[in-house]
Amino acid sequence: MEMDSLPNGNSTIPTTIIPTTTPSTALSSKLTQLTESLKLEHQFLRVPFEHYKKTIRTNHRAVEKEVSSVISVVNDAADSDISNDDAVQHLTSLVSRLQGLKRKLEEGSRTENLQAQRCRARIDHLESADAENLSEWNNMRMKRILVDYMLRMSYYDTGLKLAESSDMLDLVDIDVFLESKRVIDALQKREVAPALAWCADNKTRLKKSKSKFEFQLRLQEYVELVRAEDHLRAITYARKYLAPWAATHMKEMQRVFAIVAFKSNPECAVYKVFFEPKQWDYLVEQFKQEFCRLYGMTLEPLLNIFLQAGLSALKTPYCYEDDCTKEDPLSQESFRKLALPLPYSKQHHSKLVCYITKELMDTENPPQVLPNGYVYSTKALEEMAKRNDGKITCPRTGLVCNYSEVVKAFIS
Amino acid sequence: MDLNPIKDAFDRVAKKQKMSGSKTQEVVAQMILEIENSLEIIKAEHFGSEVDCKSVFGELKKKLLEIAPLSQLEGTQKELNIALSKYPKQLEKSFNPDIAKAYRNIDFDAHTVNQIIAGHFYRQGLFDVGDCFINEANVPESTAAMKSLFSEMYLILEAMKNKNLEPALNWATANSNKLKENGSDLLLKLHCLQFVEILQGGSRSKALSYVRTHISPFGANHFSEIQKLMACLLWSGRLHHSPYSDLLSPTNWNVVAEELTRQFCNLLGQSFDSPLSVTIAAGFQGLPPLLKFMNVMAGKKHEWQSMKQLPVPVELDREFQFHSIFVCPVLKEQSTDENPPMLMQCGHVLCKQSINKMSKNGSKTFKCPYCPSDIDSTQCRQLHF
């Protein structure tokens, strides 16, 4: 068979799938790709900003409170008869209060400035990514994602160690997560007070997102009172803290009130769930979600999101075969296991990889067919023929043939 | 990516924050001044006639009312708030605000993920971090096996960074047979580096004897390289000005270090890159088209959770292409074992189903869709990529 030239000449040269890319288009496609991947970094800029904003708000609220309290002290004094001594004492204490406030303000603005610096450092880091330092930059990105994972899974020591050893404390959110650690630790010890304090701190925003986390905390505290058979206090507690939620959570409320009727160990499944210890784990999970939402983070660790997308993009039926190359992550059992419930990737165009050289077979390096139907790249076969006096040995079947016997395949 | 709008928006926030801060300082200072004034008045009059404290306080109250500290603060705070609410909006505009949109809600087994991560730390040479993680996350000790595998490699690489080739040469010599089998000339490359180092050290005779003992055995296959090295001897001390100055380039060291890493991993039966890094990098390339799809198909969230194949093609770079994928140009589907690619007499390739369809199950010849050849389906051959 003679197949190197097409029967009807050059007029219908088949177009091969992979267009030969000139270096400049390759570079520009690399840059679009970079832009696309940078657009996935919303959280990277958002979290330090939310932190910054929170500090600003807290500081401002403290000032407002102190100033209005000073004013009201003055107003009260102006309306009453006080002795000279008392007046001097009053005024002196006001001055020292305000001076204390001034010191606090200075300290506060130092914190604000540091946090602003961190926000800037993040923007600069994104800007620093370009074609030259890409592999180093990606390496850093990998580490950032790992620190994010550590912090979310409460592996604080590892997270801190990794961040410190790579000198990237400004690029990760360790201090933000340490704030959540206190609450999580307390919940694990079955204490709700820090969680409630956190709710109070973020009242308006939680309300805006219609969070019912505080309700769940109150509910749990109430359940604990019932569990301890302190029914009187349970009822008082419910009146005080649960009743305000009646308008929005009537159904749960009714169910919950009913549990007082039982001893702490009800038979009925509907009520039994309230007493299960895993309710506390559930609260921890709930808190983590609220916390992430508040800071504009994804609810899942970044690592899981990118791992999933990557596994789907890489997954082909061939990955699960025995001769899968070890360069493919999916040749490893652990990756295969994670990818199992994920969809296969989809391709609209053929992409052929030479079994021998692992290089792409395209117009530059077209695929050639041995008499037994096995396909290898021109480069690999030429090389082999040169070394063995024009003889080709198929590495997969052992067939030996002459280089002149191979034919080119056109893949469109 | 254009980050300027983001920078501008942030600069505005920072500026307003500074303004609000100094305004607050100023207002508090004003208040302190007024109160101190009143204090002075009361103290001054203390020894004289009976002072009317009430009127002093009344005066102070009036003064504070004039300063109106709260409304002063309110003004700057308002401007700050505007900037504060604009910045996140700008972020949402410039970035993809929800990258979890294409996340399938499956349980990602945390133990497996942790094992993968521990392995990643060790193979990246982050031994301390790896140890810490294994402790903290309760990863089975067996994962630490990776540590001993890779610690030698990092010792070698570390030494190379200090221009010490001895550990590298020892390893390559010990594994020279396996390296040869894999077609790697790493050992020769290492010897060449060492030779250049010796030559740069100024000793021509030492360099010559080094070639004799270590490099000449490669003579059979690498004649031209050795010739080049011998020629370098003539330029001893002036290698910079010689035609062989490229031998001095520090990138040579990086190239050899990379080759060593590749071969070392290869002999360990490990991939060259950390599989976790590869997957995450693929994720960064694969996620944008998926997010775009989810934006269009907002209503089909449910289907997404059960699809067997991604609904949109995800093009990855060459480096992620580990397997041959054949997509039949007629059927537009990937080939399978049941529907393999077939080579027609003209050299074009279609999948079996397409050929069966066009030949009416082999009952007639048909025209190749890409050229005017007549194709006899019995003459088509199955291909193995």
Beta carbons of A326 and B87 less than 8 Å apart: no
Q: What is the pLDDT of residue A165?
A: 95
What 3-state class would DSSP assign to B350?
Answer: strand
Q: What is the pLDDT of residue A2?
A: 39
Cβ–Cβ under 8 Å, residues A131 and A27:
yes
Question: What is the four-CA torsion angle of A161, A165, A169, A173, rounded to 10 degrees?
Answer: -30
Six-digit token string for B65: 């009312």
Whether B106 and chain A come into contact, CB under 8 Å, resolves to: yes
Nearest to A148 by CA among A138, A136, A163, A135: A163
Q: What is the pLDDT of residue B277?
A: 96
Q: Please name the residues between 201 and 260 in chain B that touch chain A, using a CB distance below 8 Å.
A: none
CATH numeric code, B323-385: 3.30.40.10
In this prediction the pTM is: 0.88
Beta carbons of B343 and A87 less than 8 Å apart: no
CA distance A160 to A150: 9
Q: What is the pLDDT of residue A21?
A: 46
CA distance A305 to A308: 5
Q: Architecture of A351-412 per CATH?
A: 2-Layer Sandwich (3.30)
Query: What ipTM was predicted for this assembly?
Result: 0.88
Cβ neighbour number for residue B375 with a 10 Å cutoff: 22
Q: Where are the domains of chain A?
A: 42-127, 178-294, 302-339, 351-412
When CB atoms are compared, the residue of A95, A318, A327 closest to B36 is A95
Beta carbons of B283 and A306 less than 8 Å apart: yes
Six-digit token string for A375: 């396909």
What is the separation, in whole angstroms, between the first and last Cα of chain A?
21
Q: What is the pLDDT of residue A136?
A: 92
Q: What is the pLDDT of residue A17?
A: 42
Q: State the greatest distance between any 2 C-alpha atoms of chain A, in Å, as a whole number.
A: 119
Alpha carbon separation from B115 to B132, B133, B145 (Å, rounded): 13, 10, 12
DSSP for residue A112: H
Q: Which residues of chain B have pLDDT under 50?
A: none
Residue B6, exposed/middle/buried by CB under 10 A (0-12, 13-18, 19+)?
A: buried
Alpha carbon separation from A35 to A43, B51, B102 (Å, rounded): 16, 74, 19
Q: What is the pLDDT of residue B303?
A: 77
CA distance A323 to A358: 13
Min Cα separation B364/chain A (Å): 20
When CB atoms are compared, the residue of B1, B24, B270 closest to A39 is B1
Q: What is the pLDDT of residue B299?
A: 67
Residue in the structure block whose two tokens are 């990138």: B251
Q: Please name the residues between 103 and 122 in chain A that touch chain B, using a CB distance below 8 Å.
A: 105-106, 108-109, 112, 116, 119-120
CB environment B272-295: b (16+ within 10 A), e (fewer): ebbbbbbbbbbbbbbbbbbbebbe
Whether B332 and chain A come into contact, CB under 8 Å, resolves to: yes
Q: What is the pLDDT of residue A8?
A: 41
Q: What is the pLDDT of residue A18?
A: 45
Beta carbons of A409 and B347 less than 8 Å apart: yes
Nearest to B358 by CA among B375, B383, B381, B379: B375
Q: What is the pLDDT of residue B142?
A: 81
Min Cα separation A261/chain B (Å): 38
Q: DSSP string covering A16-58, please?
A: PSSPPPPHHHHHHHHHHHHHHHHTT-HHHHHHHHHHHHHHHHH
Chain A residue numbers with beta carbons less than 8 Å from the beta carbon of B314 are 312-313, 345-346
CB environment A378-393: b (16+ within 10 A), e (fewer): bbbbeebbeeeeeebe
Q: What is the pLDDT of residue B185?
A: 87
CA distance B279 to A330: 9
Q: Where are the domains of chain B?
A: 4-92, 114-268, 274-304, 323-385
Chain B residue numbers with beta carbons less than 8 Å from the beta carbon of A352 are 324-326, 385
pLDDT in tens, A17-45: 444 445 567 778 888 889 999 999 999 99
Cβ–Cβ under 8 Å, residues A255 and A271:
yes
Q: Which residues pair with B309 in a beta bridge?
A: A344
Q: Which residues of chain A have pLDDT under 70?
A: 1-24, 262-267
Q: What is the pLDDT of residue A159?
A: 97
Which phi and psi (to 5°) does residue A3 adopt? -125, 5
Q: What is the pLDDT of residue B91?
A: 95
Whether A341 and chain B come into contact, CB under 8 Å, resolves to: yes
What radius of gyration do chain A's Cα atoms show?
34
CA distance A409 to A362: 11
DSSP for residue B66: H
Whether A259 and chain B come into contact, CB under 8 Å, resolves to: no
CA distance A188 to A130: 44
